Amino acid sequence: MATGWSRRAAVLGGCAAVVAGFQNAPRLWDIWDDGFDFTPMNRLPGFRTIATSGVSSSGLSGLFAGIGDPNPSDQRDDRILRENLCDVLFHDGPGVSLAIFSDYYCPYCRILDRQVKNLEDEGLVTVRHHETPLFGPPSEWAARGAIAARAQGKGRAYFERMLGTPIRANPGFLRRVGEEIGLDVPLFLAEMTSANTDAVLRQSAGLQRIFGFIGTPSMVVGQTVLQGAISETNLRQLISIERDNAPQTPCG
């Protein structure tokens, strides 16, 4: 497993907890009756934000000063991601493309993840989940387990099992989870610490940098970039708008 959790991860987890305090109130995104006020993202042409976002990146950026600044390797990887942004951000499929960035131990993420899965079951969206472990080693283990379970086609079973437990993830617990959901457990454990899983996590971290996400939950719904909580009603409204405007989206 990667060893980047020391002091830097602890500070980042603490900052993320502060961000979560702002983001985890559904009322922040449950305030529109007549539509959304969209603002273009100048640094990402074709994408946009909602002007009344629940959390301001500029307002909280001081919390993250000097933490997670891209190194030359990150900058190179980010350039590659930008060149293939739609392919790495979304999955092809029916409905509106939706990318969600969440952490199993972010309280509101559990609510939003469930809403998104329900919308996917209804055929309204095609979801790509980007693991975003911000809260230390248990978050990273849970994220690695999710990636490894998907490699065996058991991502949904893993998701359901993890949402049903308050236990902090560790290798022993994840072994039991793998047994319960019918995984090839030795392969599952090996995949959690594989180079492929490391690469998937780096890719998600790069997407976070590109979109300027500073906490969880965060989403890209079609061409609209969101940070923080959103009510199911507003999310359905946004999906309807994105469906109607699909030909205009940067990812087609």
What would the pLDDT profile of 199-244 be if each residue is shown by its tens digit?
999 999 999 999 999 889 999 999 999 998 888 999 999 999 999 8
* Residue 74 belongs to a domain: no
The predicted model gives 55-70 an average pLDDT of 38
Q: What pTM was estimated for this model as a whole? A: 0.80
CATH number at residue 180: 3.40.30.10
pLDDT tens digits, residue range 11-56?
Answer: 444 444 444 444 433 344 454 445 788 999 988 999 999 875 443 3
The reported pLDDT for the residue numbered 34 is 55
* Residue 191 belongs to a domain: yes
* Residue 70 belongs to a domain: no
* Residue 78 belongs to a domain: no
* Residue 63 belongs to a domain: no
* Residue 2 belongs to a domain: no
Q: Which domain holds residue 103?
A: 7-57+84-248
Q: Which residue has the higher pLDDT, 66 or 156?
A: 156
Q: Which residues contact 129 (CB under 8 A, 6 or more apart)?
A: 99, 100, 102, 113, 146, 155
How many domains in the chain? Answer: 1
* Residue 201 belongs to a domain: yes
